[in-house]
Amino acid sequence: MLKNVLIVGLGGFAGSIARYLAYVLIDKRFPSAYPLSTLSVNIIGSFILGIITGFMLKTSVANDTLRLLLAVGFCGSFTTFSTFAYENLFFINQKLIPTALIYIFASLILGLLAVFAGHWVGKTML
């Protein structure tokens, strides 16, 4: 149990650093009132999770340690549902309902497309 907790923590450590770096790079390169950095990390994280799950289904390399490290730890901390929820609350409180709806639907549709695409890529690797 402790080993698994540490493995998830290690993946989470790397994922949270990657998320912070993505925010810094995206926000500096593309300043916007729209939450491009959150949308980006959630779409990229969905794609990465799809690759991991597709690859693990296909290969004998798949094991619980790899799943805990990459899928649970890294992807779990790289993506951010709570920030997504807060940003939508902000839009709604500012009476920016169309912006909130576009953000919600874009996140949902692009996230699903990304995980499906990543899963396909993962299954076709090797």
What stretches of 1-126 adopt beta strand conformation (E)? none
Is residue 73 packed enough to be buried (19+ CB in 10 Å), middle (13-18) or exposed (0-12)? Answer: buried
Q: Please tell me whether 80 is known to bind a ligand.
A: no
**Token pair in block for residue 60:** 């004998």
Q: Please tell me whether 83 is known to bind a ligand.
A: no
Binding residue positions for Na(+): 76, 79
Binding residue positions: 76, 79
